[in-house]
Structure 1
Amino acid sequence: MRTDQIQEAAGAGTAPFDGGAAVVDWLKTAGVAHVFSVSGGPINAIYRACTHRGLPLVHARHEAAACFMAEASSRVTGRPGAAVVTLGPGVTNAVTPALVAMMAGTPLIIVGAHAATTTLERGAGMSYEVLPAMQTVTKWAARVTDPARIPEYLDIAWREMWAGRPGPVFLEIPTDILNATVDPAVRRPRPAAVGAAAVSAADTAALHALLAQAKRPLLLLGDETFWDRSDRLVAAIERHGLPFATLRLARGIVDEHHAQWVGPGYAPCNGTLRRALAEADCILMVGHHFEFDLEFGDTVGADARIVQVCSDRALLHKNRRADLAIPASASQFVATLAEAPAMATDRAWASGLAAAWTEERDAQRGESDNQGLHPIAAVDAVTAAAPAHTIYVSSHGNVDFWADARLRLRAPGRYLRAGQSGALGAEVPYGAGASFADPDAPVVVFVGDGGVGFHVAELDTAERYGRAFIVVVLDDECWGAIALPQAGAFGETYEMALPRRDWGKVAEGLGGKGYLCTDPAAIDAAVRDAVASRKPAIIQVPVRSVISPYMDYIS
């Protein structure tokens, strides 16, 4: 039966104000735009409330995919996403997306079911004590057993989610609590916005003194600049003549066509950034810390003075001690930087870095052969055909790493990558989630023939709800990120081959469109047709299996 037939058969009665309604009212008040979920009887009260209280429910094919979609919506909009999962294995399927959100610093609310309180510890079907697992992959996890306190617990979750560095939270609600009648008076006002911590007078003075001595400054824009945006960032960059790189969620926070951009903040795929880290005498790192993509700060020049700004004090000095550690919000620091006396930046050095990155990028011109296009040729053909406001999703496989250095983002929320955790499987759900978050923007997912297999069925989810995104499968017939380093290290590989499958027919079977493209002209035509069709699509491109600069460097 179709959904409308089921609802008609059930009758159109007035839904009670119960625990499910309390959850949905709170989510709507908090600004959540969609609830992503997978069928589960214990969460029917939330489903009913979504229908009767006007909060769109998106029913995915797998709980992990539903949570990835919710996280993707957060990465696009800057507002928390929400997922609801059923008890037991429904919750454990959410563990990996929660881990990804935790490592990325993405605000995500996961509501999980549990058996009725009268059957806890009695071996009820699907019932398992999942809180210990969720506590390891979230900032906060708890169970509420009083229906009247559901909004209170969600308020706690909100505060924990935004405290310091954002991240995922989990609230478990037994099914009898969700179905219990609740006094509508428990409704609460919109959760309070998190205040922006200002830069102290002492830190401002210390900053001015440090900036006055710097000649070769480098600005690193990190994750927090996405959640706490400033309209003075470009002014600060241009006032001081700062060369800058954008990390992870900050991709596009400043138009990456800016003359002072020195490429993505991923040292393994950006030789210019490695040079800049070694040569800079002052590094301004805003809303981030020295993690893997910055080689933990190990390659920073010995004489460089480091200014680190982060709202989460636990990240200050992490991996590399800062000369000036400022526990403040990104926007407040940018305002302080924009008002600081202009630095005596070595403009020739700064412009030389930007030119070096352009040359490095332009030099990446791979040759195609009878085994397929070079991945660069495929990526460039896609980006040339895609509209300027396209949202791009990249993965953590070898072919996907080619895309990171080719993309230049014009706006925030246009780049989604689960690379912080190294998790495969997020790519296709990210594409679907982005299409719900911004249905007017084309969405392009770059993924290999390995990663696409995790959640390809979510093309059906997008099609059912009238959403569209394009999956570009860069097909090198192997698990390239592992196979190529294996071959280099051992002279052989171990069960790495993947037979070429017809992914276009898979897309067609799921209600979308499919294309097989072997040259740039065909890719151009397929991208344009897929965008115009407003259908989910797969464009399969046979490519050469050639190691990316990222994988070559870290291997």
Structure 2
Amino acid sequence: MSTDTEPTTQLHGGRLVARRLKAHGVTKLFTLSGGHLFSIYDGCREEGIDLVDVRHEQAAAFAAEGWAKVTRQPGVAALTAGPGVTNGMSALGSAQMNNSPMVVLGGRAPALRWGQGSLQEIDHVPFVAPLTKFAATPQSTAEIPGLVDRALATAVAPHSGPTFVDFPLDYVFMEGDDAGVEPVTLSMADGPQPDGDAMERAIALLRGAERPVVMAGTNLYWGHGEQALLALIEELRIPTFVNGLGRGCVPADHELYFSRARGTGLKGADVALVIGVPMDFRLGFGGSFGEDTKLVVVDRAEPVRPHPRPVEAELYGGIPAILEGLRTGATGGPDRSAWVSTVRADETEKRAAEDEERNDPRGPLHPMRLYKELSEVLDRNAIIIGDGGDFVSYAGRVIDSYEPGCWLDPGPFGCLGCGPGYAIAAKVAHPDRQVVLLQGDGAFGFSAMEYDTMARLGINVVGVMGNNGIWALEKHPMEFLYGYSVAADLRPETRYDQVIEALGGHGEFVTTPEEVKPALARAFAAGRPAMVNISTDPTVVYPRKSNLA
């Protein structure tokens, strides 16, 4: 009998990284070129993973988060050592608060020279650890494949979120044993429904509710719960509201979808099913619901913070299984047609009250008129990215979504400048769909050079700018509080569209409502990244009600 063994294949560490990424189904790596990453680039080239190179590391990291948001698969960014990693930290914070599964691969000064002052030598792990679910550095080339596997698996496990691994320069250039390329199935699917008293209490409450309501959010999307939610609300006739990545999980033209009547729905409910959304400032820290509303909380895992008010039942695990259990268990309740009609009447009244603003003839434009014109040229599956303050707040009120993964905004971290990275990822993932980047003129300044990335790589995103010459989110509240504002003014009607033209894109400048749709049509037809720079009225004050603190 022969005792010979097959020789082990030796590959450099960067190739080992790439082989594990490929085994997990990763096809794109978002990055900005850095010498600490060369071996990873070489590995990706050999393994067929596309490099999408941007102009600032924050855009690479936001693109990784954007990829996760539109595909429900982990996005991956590679950031060079030192400032490359620190430049990506805002995106890590955003992904943490949005539960976005993403992996950041960092360059790192060589272990052999550690402590001697190599270029960009800094220990990243202590300062990225608070923003991630997992952060580590391999202690040898042999450890690289296992850490990449762990980072990807941890990113998708509930609660999903960002992870980080950095690679000493010497280890990724050294060779190590190839661990093989067996494919790995990464799934956002969660476990079964919970058993016991909590489910029984929730079923009893829901079955007896005369005025139930659903408030659903981002983790409904991450947990693939949209079909189970639709089945539940249609069976039990429950008015439904959504926020965050929950937008589109119930189509905006569904008979049980509501957006304007949230006060009536949440305050008037006797039972609220809160699915995959924390009771943070967006829900008034629980105060958006009526004082007597009984709350049932459903999520992928236990909350990271205590609930700000008592809840009657907590159900954690597989969201589809939980919702199916509630649907089958709570059938046979009271007739809820009058309750649905009450919420619908308020919704209809509030929508009608917007007509004056939506048809406002002024130029510079009211943002509501701008969005009326835009909504009339959007495809049903258009992906809309919001990157701004008041300008995007108006969009959040009136731009409708009909499919999951079609609305991306900064989320509760509120980091401006995320939009171009999100848009790049969305268009790379879905090249045949409209991708529209809504930007305030303030937000544009954070990452405007990514229009060069789009032009260089043929990524045909259409930007729509609300240009009011101010930081409206700060200027109006400050003037309300103090009677004056500081550090809140920009230059009115700056020709940002000409900046886009200089970078190789298509630019339009618009000052009247009648010009909007023709300009948008030309932008969509341009075959290159475009910016429709629309002058909006700086005196318009967004009717903000959120309690931020």
TM-score (norm. length: structure 2): 0.93
Asked if structure 2 preserves the Cα contact closer than 8 Å seen for 1:389 and 1:441, the reply is yes
In structure 2, what is the Cα distance between the partners aligned to 1:433 and 1:535?
Answer: 16
Task: Identify which of 479, 493, 499 aligns with 1:487.
Answer: 479
Which of 241, 258, 265 is the equivalent residue of 1:262? 258
CA RMSD of aligned residues (A): 2.0
Question: Alpha-carbon deviation of 1:368?
Answer: 4.7
DSSP-derived class of the 1:136 partner: helix
> In 2 relative to 1, CA 122–542 (structure 1 residues): closer, same or farther, beyond 3 Å?
same
Conservation of the 8 A alpha-carbon contact between 2:219 and 2:277: yes
Q: After the TM superposition, which residues 348-367 of structure 1 pair with which residues of structure 2 at under 5 Å, given as runs?
A: 348-364=338-354, 365-366=356-357
- Separation in structure 2 between the aligned mates of residue 74 and residue 440 of structure 1, nearest angstrom: 18
| Contact 2:388/2:442 (<8 A) preserved | no
SS in 2 for 1:393: strand
Counterpart of 2:501 in structure 1 is: 508
**Conservation of the 8 A alpha-carbon contact between 2:394 and 2:542:** yes
The CA distance in 2 between the partners of 1:238 and 1:447, in whole Å, is 36
Alpha-carbon distance, 1:530 to partner = 1.6
Mapping for residues 112-191 of structure 1, pairs under 5 Å = 112-191=106-185
Other-structure match for 1:538:
531
Correspondent of 1:222 among 217, 220, 232: 217
Paired position in structure 2 for 1:68: 62
Distance 1:258 1:194, change over 3 A: closer
The count of residues paired between Structure 1 and Structure 2 equals: 534
How far does the alpha carbon of each residue in 1:525-547 deviate from its partner, in whole angstroms, 9 at most, with x for none?
Answer: 12222222221111000001211
Listed one character per residue, the Cα deviations across residues 83-107 of structure 1 (whole Å, up to 9, x for unaligned) are 0000000000011000001011100
Deviations 1:274-309 (A, max 9, x none): 232221100001122211111110242222211101
Task: Check the 8 A contact 1:161/1:168 in 2, yes or no.
Answer: yes
What is the DSSP-based 3-state SS (H/G/I as helix, E as strand, rest coil) of the residue aligned with 1:64? helix
* Equivalent position SS for 1:313: coil
Q: Does 1:388 align with 2:364?
A: no
Distance 2:270 2:385 in 1: 34
Q: Which residue does 1:296 correspond to in 2?
A: 285
Trace 1:326-405 onto structure 2 (pairs within 5 A): 326-340=315-329, 341-364=331-354, 365-366=356-357, 368=360, 372-405=364-397
Which structure 2 segments of 5+ residues have no match? 1-8
Q: Please give the alpha-carbon distance, in whole angstroms, between the structure 1 residues aligned to 2:73 and 2:352.
A: 36
Distance 1:475 1:192 in 2: 42
Change over 3 Å in CA distance of 1:332–1:57 after alignment to 2: same
- Whether 1:319 and 2:308 are equivalent positions in the alignment is yes
Match of 2:430 among 422, 438, 450: 438
Q: Which moved more, 1:185-194 or 1:251-260?
A: 185-194
Q: 1:132 to 1:198 in 2, by over 3 A?
A: same
Distance 1:466 1:522 in 2: 26
1:98 equivalenced with 2:98 (yes/no): no
Distance in 2, matches of 1:377 and 1:370, equals: 9
User: In structure 2, how many angstroms separate the alpha carbons of the residues matched to 1:79 and 1:193?
Assistant: 8
2 CA distance for matches of 1:19 and 1:332? Answer: 41
In structure 2, what is the equivalent of residue 453 of structure 1? 445
For 2:256 and 2:402, how far apart are their aligned partners in 1? Answer: 14
* Equivalent pair of 2:156/2:186 in contact (CA under 8 Å): no
Residues 359 and 395 (structure 1), Cα distance of their counterparts in 2 relative to 1, 3 Å cut:
farther
Which one of the candidate residues 224, 230, 234 is aligned to 2:230? 234
Change (3 A) 1:31 1:343: farther
Amino acid in the other structure paired with 1:163: A
Contact 2:188 2:222 in 1 (8 A): no
Alignment partner of 1:274 out of 263, 271, 275: 263
Query: Structure 1 residue aligned with 2:515, among 508, 516, 522?
Result: 522
Scaled by the length of structure 1, what TM-score is found? 0.92
Query: Among residues 245, 248, 252, which one is paired with 1:249 in the alignment?
Result: 245
CA distance in 2, matches of 1:369, 1:496: 27
* Distance (whole Å) between structure 1 residues aligned to residue 546 and residue 276 of structure 2: 28
- The code of the aligned residue for 2:483 comes to G
Greater mean deviation of Cα atoms: 376-385 or 204-213: 204-213
1:40 corresponds to which residue? 34
Q: Is the CA contact 1:432–1:459 (under 8 Å) kept in the aligned structure 2?
A: no
Structure 1: 4+ residue segments shifted above 6 A: 551-555
Report deviation, 1:193. 3.5
CA shift for structure 1 position 450: 0.5
Cα distance change of structure 1 residues 164 and 554 upon mapping to structure 2, 3 Å threshold: closer
Deviations 1:51-91 (A, max 9, x none): 22110100000000111111111111111100000000000
Counterparts of 1:277 and 1:344 in 2: how far apart (Å)? 19
Letter in 2 for 1:152: G
Q: Which one of 468, 474, 478 corresponds to residue 476 of structure 1?
A: 468
Deviations 1:180-199 (A, max 9, x none): 11222354541554652222
Partner of 2:3: none
Shift of 1:440: 1.0
Report deviation, 1:369: 6.8
Say whether the 8 Å CA contact 1:369–1:544 is kept in structure 2.
no
Corresponding residue for residue 45 of structure 2: 51
Q: Select between 178-187 and 405-414 the one with higher mean Cα deviation.
A: 178-187
- C-alpha displacement of 1:457: 0.9
CA offsets 1:170-228 (integer angstroms, 9 cap, x no match): 00111111111122235454155465222234243222221222110011122122122
Aligned to 2:5: none
Q: Aligned partners of 2:532 and 2:250: how far apart in 1? A: 30
The question of 1:31 aligning with 2:21 is answered no
Between stretches 528-537 and 503-512, larger displacement belongs to 528-537
More deviation, 173-182/185-194: 185-194
Contact persistence 2:361–2:513 (CA under 8 A): no
Aligned residue for 2:412, secondary structure, equals coil
User: Given the superposition, is the C-alpha separation of residues 60 and 485 from structure 1 closer, same or farther in structure 2, using an over 3 Å criterion?
Assistant: same
Give me the whole-angstrom Cα distance separating, in 1, the residues matched to 2:138 and 2:158.
24
Q: Distance in 2 between matches of 1:551 and 1:284?
A: 23
1:253 and 1:466 map into 2 onto residues whose CA distance is: 30
1:510: Cα distance to partner? 1.1
Measure the CA separation in 2 of the matches of 1:240 and 1:193: 29
- 3-state SS of 2:541 partner: coil
Structure 1 pair 552/348, CA: closer, same or farther in 2 (3 Å)? same
Q: Distance in 2 between matches of 1:79 and 1:57?
A: 17
Unaligned 5+ segments in structure 1 are 1-14, 264-269
Decide whether aligned partners of structure 1 residues 260 and 194 sit closer, same or farther in structure 2, where only a CA change above 3 A counts.
Answer: closer
Q: Does 1:310 align with 2:271?
A: no
Q: What SS is found at the alignment partner of 2:241? A: strand
Give 2:208's aligned residue.
Answer: 213
**Contact 1:262–1:354, Cα closer than 8 Å, also in 2:** yes
In the alignment, which residue of structure 2 is the partner of 1:107? Answer: 101
Matched residue type, 2:439: V
Contact 1:398 1:551 (8 Å CA) reproduced: no
Residue 399 of structure 1, CA deviation: 1.4
Q: How far apart are 1:552 and its partner, in Å?
A: 8.1
Offset of residue 386 of structure 1 = 2.1
